[in-house]
Structure 1
Amino acid sequence: MRAIAWERLEAWVRKENGTSPKKLITRDTQLYNDLDVDGDEAEDFMEHFFEEFSIDYGDYNFDHYFVPEGFSPLEIFLLMISKKKRASYDRPPITLGMLYQAALDGRWDCARLDSLSSLSQA
């Protein structure tokens, strides 16, 4: 395990995302729901995260955590009427705690990190 201070990750997230110093962010803060990081922004954010903290991508897969950008009118209609279709867009959230743990480990491990996210939501 590497020695990386939480404050370093927090400062980097604030700078990378343009998050106000007044906004409270914690290990439970979610990229999508709390910091509005999604789509192409999310792809860039995560790429910069892996580079900044020298993290091995491991089994990281963008589509596991984020819905790609762009919807057709038919898809939007189906989302409105179909629970099954809406469920297909559900993704586990990435929390700052997950990012911090990946930075400490030096590697992305979906099973380990996803379990951290589910613990914080329990």
Structure 2
Amino acid sequence: MPISVWEDLESFVRMEAGLSQRKTLTRELDLENDLDLTGDDADDFMGKFFEKFEVKHGDFDFDRYFCGEGFNPFVVLGFIFSAKLRRKYDKEPLTLGMLEKAIEIGVWDSRVLAG
């Protein structure tokens, strides 16, 4: 019986994100907010994703979906005074469903994956 794209992706996510079999994975889960993949860990994860599933990078932009590493108290204070700064740190969700669709189409196309 062939392994489906979802089963292969689920296995990959569990291994790379260190998730137990008890954790329920759904297509709506966001890598950063639900699975706590951020910064360098998220960068490594996405690099391995593109390589393993042979997905072309297309228009993938890390900063569109993830915040960088580190904590800067001045940035946190800046959130109080600057809507522009808050928007800079507002990231689009990157879901497991988007990863599945990218595997199916073979390229990262943000417009297609967001819809």
TM over 0.5: yes
Match of 1:27 in 2: 27
| Aligned equivalents of 1:102, 1:23: Cα separation in 2 | 23
Match of 1:6 in 2: 6
Q: How does 1:1-122 map to 2 (within 5 A)?
A: 4-115=4-115
Moved more, 61-70 or 78-87: 78-87
Q: TM-score, normalised by structure 1?
A: 0.85
| Aligned equivalents of 1:80, 1:13: Cα separation in 2 | 36
- Structure 1: unaligned runs, 5 residues or longer: 116-122
Q: CA deviation at 1:91?
A: 0.9
Q: TM-score, normalised by structure 2?
A: 0.89
Q: CA RMSD in A?
A: 1.6
More helix by share: 1
Q: CA deviation at 1:114?
A: 1.9
Secondary structure, counterpart of 1:24 in structure 2: coil
Secondary structure, counterpart of 2:29 in structure 1: coil
- Structure 2: unaligned runs, 5 residues or longer: none
